[in-house]
Amino acid sequence: MPVANVTGGTFRDPAGSLFDFEGRILRLVKSSEVGRFEDMLRSDVLSRLVDRGSVVGTRRLEAQDIPDRLRHLSGTWFKHDRVPFVSVPAEWSAAMLAEAALHTIEVNLELVRHGYILKDATPANVLFNGTEPVIVDVPSIEPLIPGRDVWVARHQFETTFLLPLMARIEAGLPIQWTLSDPVAGLSHEQCAQLLGVSRWWGMDRIRHVALPAALAARTVSGRAPASAPASPPGATALRRTQYVLERSLRALQDTVTRYSDRIDRRQSHWSGYEGTRDHYSAQDLTDKRTLVAKAIDAVSPDWVLDIGANTGEFSEYAARRSAVVALDVDEVSVSSIYRRARRQRHAIHPLVMDVVRPTPASGWKNSESKSFLQRAQGRFDLTLMLAVAHHLRVSGGVPLEEIIDLGCSMGRKGLIFEFVPVGDPMFSAIARGRESIYSDYDLDNCMRMLERRGHIVMRRNLRNGRTIFLLSLSS
């Protein structure tokens, strides 16, 4: 959700502004829009969508509850239910993008059947409550206009949902690139150039890439096709419009579903890690699982951050008692974590992220969307850094002290840290003969750094030479 400053709030929506103010998500709606907005909030269809968790809950703010610092602003105030953790589309996996796209269509289908429609449809309007997508741009819901038989947000939907998903599946283009601006996305022309004739030859790609790109070229050259005249208003026209829109939305839904079905067929080096980690013996794995489970239980966290989640095994254990945000650089692995967590109804919010280069603040003046570190600040009770520090040290070039500082700054109560020694085969595989330059990276130095930041309440050596620590950060 965009982050508003206190003086101006968000500024792109002409109907009002959104404020993240002292932990509350407040929306200011202009006087000219309040009547329509409240009529929509009272509708039966919206009540059902809110009850199911498909759309964020919204209610009018009583006068006495309006913050003094915001009273000078003209309009009517509403309060949204807060989604527990905010991620941005550039942090999503392909599975999450597909689920958000299908959710947007499903909500829109229900709205259309009851005389409403989404006028906007981008990933920026969706957040995840754990694994469940939620529409949060409530003012984008408006009454359906009889005779308007084309979904005005279809172009938005294709460029910000369908084409980035298609580019990821067909050409491996990272979602982090195509959705760095989740409102602009990937144009039909860009996608056509990216895929080329050999890749966009197919019914879905011709319909959603080649033809729109050709039509866009005709528009630029001044040969835009004439728009169809609107049908006369009335009940018959409304039913016709609902029928046409529903068929159009079903066709989009089928296309997204076909791409969604292909997500789980992909493989990467790290997605198959569970079957190839021969640097752990069976006993080492059993010991590690037991130690990490005991450490998590000892801290008893409400929120856990798993940095370098990989297969998601330890995120899944933590999710038995906690809400978890799981980070990994490998998108295929993150998609797998998401799919399993959704099936098992675990409260895991998995994100594609390299913590060496976490998501920066973005938007106008870098103030519309907070950085990941801003969003994560003060959120977590416990940080997991299991078999990841050596990657950050070697591949990321980050000194060990900075790595430990990151882990300690993310978890209020504790840090579970796995030290992988220089002689470990995985360290050697990524160091490529340059082990000697990492002079700060040894077990004694690691212990001293941990002890300066908290109290080591558990230290266990695995047979493969790795060491697992639980550091208490409570005062």
Average pLDDT over residues 440-449: 96
- Which DSSP category does 55 fall into? B
Any alpha helices (H) in 270-371, and if so which ranges? 282-299, 313-318, 331-344
Structure tokens at 76: 């009517």
Question: Looking at 37, 61, 80, which one is the last position of a domain?
Answer: 80
The answer to whether residue 219 scores a pLDDT higher than 60 is no
| Structure confidence at residue 212 as a pLDDT band (50, 70, 90) | low
pLDDT for the residue 299: 95
pLDDT digits (tens, 9 = 90+) for 77-132: 999 999 999 999 999 999 999 999 999 999 999 999 999 999 999 999 999 999 99
Residue 90 near residue 67 (C-beta atoms within 8 A):
no
The answer to whether residue 449 scores a pLDDT higher than 50 is yes
For residue 169, being part of any structural domain is answered with: yes
For residue 11, being part of any structural domain is answered with: no
For residue 1, being part of any structural domain is answered with: no
pLDDT digits (tens, 9 = 90+) for 126-172: 999 999 999 999 999 999 999 999 999 999 999 999 999 999 999 99
Q: Which residue has the tokens 């982050």?
A: 3
pLDDT for the residue 53: 96
* 364: three-class secondary structure by DSSP: helix
The answer to whether residue 416 scores a pLDDT higher than 70 is yes
The answer to whether residue 214 scores a pLDDT higher than 90 is no
* 420: three-class secondary structure by DSSP: coil
Average pLDDT value for the chain: 89
Any alpha helices (H) in 172-312, and if so which ranges? 175-178, 188-200, 203-205, 211-220, 235-263, 282-299
Q: How many domains does the chain have?
A: 3
| Structure confidence at residue 404 as a pLDDT band (50, 70, 90) | very high
| Structure confidence at residue 6 as a pLDDT band (50, 70, 90) | very low
Q: Which residues have a Cβ under 8 Å from the Cβ of 184 and sit 6 or more positions away?
A: 159, 160
The rounded distance, in Å, linking the Cα atoms of 318 and 380 is 12
| Structure confidence at residue 203 as a pLDDT band (50, 70, 90) | low
Residue 140 near residue 29 (C-beta atoms within 8 A):
no
The answer to whether residue 393 scores a pLDDT higher than 90 is yes
Claim to verify: residue 185 and residue 259 sit in the same structural domain:
yes
Higher pLDDT, 234 or 456: 456
The answer to whether residue 353 scores a pLDDT higher than 60 is yes
For residue 4, being part of any structural domain is answered with: no
pLDDT for the residue 271: 54
The answer to whether residue 5 scores a pLDDT higher than 60 is no
Structure tokens at 324: 């978890």
Claim to verify: residue 35 and residue 104 sit in the same structural domain:
no
For residue 433, being part of any structural domain is answered with: yes
For residue 268, being part of any structural domain is answered with: no
The answer to whether residue 344 scores a pLDDT higher than 80 is yes
* Residue 101 burial (C-beta neighbours within 10 Å; 0-12, 13-18, 19+): buried
Strand extents, DSSP E, 22-80: 24-29, 58-60, 76-80
pLDDT for the residue 8: 45
368 half-sphere exposure, CB direction, 13 A CA radius: 15
The answer to whether residue 39 scores a pLDDT higher than 90 is yes
Claim to verify: residue 353 and residue 457 sit in the same structural domain:
yes
Claim to verify: residue 161 and residue 310 sit in the same structural domain:
no
The answer to whether residue 207 scores a pLDDT higher than 70 is no
Least confident of 211-220, 344-353, 407-416: 211-220
pLDDT digits (tens, 9 = 90+) for 40-67: 999 999 999 999 999 999 999 998 999 9
The CATH number assigned to the domain holding 327 equals: 3.40.50.150
Claim to verify: residue 70 and residue 174 sit in the same structural domain:
no
The answer to whether residue 220 scores a pLDDT higher than 50 is no
Claim to verify: residue 140 and residue 68 sit in the same structural domain:
no
Strand extents, DSSP E, 57-173: 58-60, 76-80, 116-118, 126-129, 132-135, 141-143
Q: Which residue has the tokens 């529409």?
A: 135
pLDDT digits (tens, 9 = 90+) for 269-327: 555 555 445 567 788 889 999 999 999 999 999 999 999 999 999 999 999 999 999 99
- Alpha carbon separation from 90 to 71, 117, 296, 351, 439 (Å, rounded): 35, 26, 30, 9, 35
pLDDT for the residue 14: 81
The rounded distance, in Å, linking the Cα atoms of 181 and 363 is 8
177 half-sphere exposure, CB direction, 13 A CA radius: 11
For residue 192, being part of any structural domain is answered with: yes
| Structure confidence at residue 196 as a pLDDT band (50, 70, 90) | confident
Question: Looking at 80, 98, 118, which one is the last position of a domain?
Answer: 80
The rounded distance, in Å, linking the Cα atoms of 392 and 178 is 25
Question: Looking at 245, 263, 281, which one is the last position of a domain?
Answer: 263
82 half-sphere exposure, CB direction, 13 A CA radius: 11
pLDDT for the residue 197: 62
Q: Which domain holds residue 197?
A: 89-263
Claim to verify: residue 41 and residue 94 sit in the same structural domain:
no
At position 38, the amino acid (one-letter code) is E
| Structure confidence at residue 209 as a pLDDT band (50, 70, 90) | low
Q: Which residues have a Cβ under 8 Å from the Cβ of 30 and sit 6 or more positions away?
A: 14, 15, 16, 74, 75
| Structure confidence at residue 38 as a pLDDT band (50, 70, 90) | very high
The answer to whether residue 451 scores a pLDDT higher than 70 is yes
- Crossing angle of helices 188-200 and 163-171, in 10° steps, is 40
pLDDT for the residue 278: 58
Claim to verify: residue 48 and residue 103 sit in the same structural domain:
no
Residue 159 near residue 187 (C-beta atoms within 8 A):
yes
Higher pLDDT, 363 or 233: 363
Claim to verify: residue 95 and residue 167 sit in the same structural domain:
yes
Claim to verify: residue 119 and residue 38 sit in the same structural domain:
no
- Crossing angle of helices 235-263 and 94-113, in 10° steps, is 160
Higher pLDDT, 283 or 186: 186
pTM score: 0.89
The answer to whether residue 362 scores a pLDDT higher than 50 is yes
For residue 164, being part of any structural domain is answered with: yes
pLDDT for the residue 392: 96
Claim to verify: residue 106 and residue 246 sit in the same structural domain:
yes
Claim to verify: residue 199 and residue 292 sit in the same structural domain:
no
